Amino acid sequence: AADLYDELKPSIPKFKSAGNRLLFKMMVFVLPVYRALLQETSKDEALGITRECFFKSLDAGFQGSRVLRRIHRTPSLLRVFRRWFIRNVNTADEPDGWKYDKLTFGKGLLYSFSVERCGIHGFFKKQGVPELVRIICEGDYYVMKYFPKGVRLTRTQTIAECAESCDFHYGFE
């Protein structure tokens, strides 16, 4: 997988936005893992193992960062972080990165927003592996175990499923 990652490096966008860099770093590693697995096993099995690797990496990120765990346990910190993150990414407006819209806060709502452009979707599509995007989308639900008790993610559409945008609603039960 290391050789496959080295081959991939020239095609990885150089982002100015810290948010875009962070998201891409969290996600792009699954591509060389998946390609290496495809050389050894079936597509379905490679997707399953890649999914588990991605989820384990999300756990490692949270378990390795006390700050990240604290932010995700505290609604007010989560709101501040999400506001900063979206502003950081949108201000850079990098064509290979993410673009957000409709950030809202309200009664019974931690926050909601939409993704109008998904950097990893575009990248994986160019790489000929759009099937990997669904794994990344599943990760949004997987990390909910790190959010405050009683917060639920609801999403009705994703770019990976051919919608114009992804909608994220983090509400209180």
User: What is the residue-averaged pLDDT of the chain?
Assistant: 95
Report whether pLDDT(3) > 90: no
- The share of the chain scoring above pLDDT 90, in percent, equals 93
Please provide residue 96's backbone torsions phi and psi, each rounded to the nearest 5 degrees.
-95, 5
Q: Across residues 70-91, what is the average pLDDT?
A: 97
Q: Across residues 19-44, what is the average pLDDT?
A: 95
Cα separation of 47 and 15, whole Å?
A: 27
Predicted pLDDT of residue 6: 79
Report whether pLDDT(28) > 80: yes
Q: Across residues 47-74, what is the average pLDDT?
A: 97
Predicted pLDDT of residue 1: 57
Predicted pLDDT of residue 131: 97
List helix spans (H) across 64-168.
66-73, 75-92, 119-126, 131-142
Ranges 3-12, 14-23, 113-122: which has the least confidence:
3-12
Q: Across residues 107-134, what is the average pLDDT?
A: 97
What is the pTM assigned to this prediction? Answer: 0.92
Predicted pLDDT of residue 104: 97
Q: 22 versus 3: which is more confidently predicted?
A: 22
Question: What letter would DSSP give residue 148?
Answer: P
Q: Which of 56, 33, 40 is nearest to 132 (CA)?
A: 33
Identify the bridge partners of residue 115 per DSSP, sorted by sequence position.
100, 166
Residue 119, both tokens? 């950097």
Residues 6+ positions from 90 with CB-CB distance below 8 Å: 99, 100
Q: Across residues 142-146, what is the average pLDDT?
A: 97
Residue 90, both tokens? 């949108």
Report whether pLDDT(144) > 70: yes
